[in-house]
Amino acid sequence: NRYAGMIVPTWIAHYRIAEVERIAQLPENNRASIATLARQAGFASRTNFYRVYRAIRGQAPSQLSPKPTNENK
């Protein structure tokens, strides 16, 4: 029941977080919301993703990828 020193649910959470971070960098996802990316990676809800992300990364997922602002135009 352990993989890489983690229990399976923890390993899955780490895997899904890494997947959100990976797909957030893809050009086709530059306008996708964090919640949408989280669902694509297998998180059941936005709330669950935010809770797990903060627990694993120690920061809010809003810091994942800066979204374009009017200043960039």
pLDDT digits (tens, 9 = 90+) for 53-68: 999 999 988 877 545 5
Mean pLDDT of 4-33: 90
Mean pLDDT of 3-21: 87
pLDDT digits (tens, 9 = 90+) for 32-56: 999 999 999 999 999 999 999 999 9
Contact 42, 52 (CB under 8 A): no
Confidence of residue 73 (pLDDT cuts 50, 70, 90): very low
Tell me, yes or no, if the pTM score tops 0.95.
no
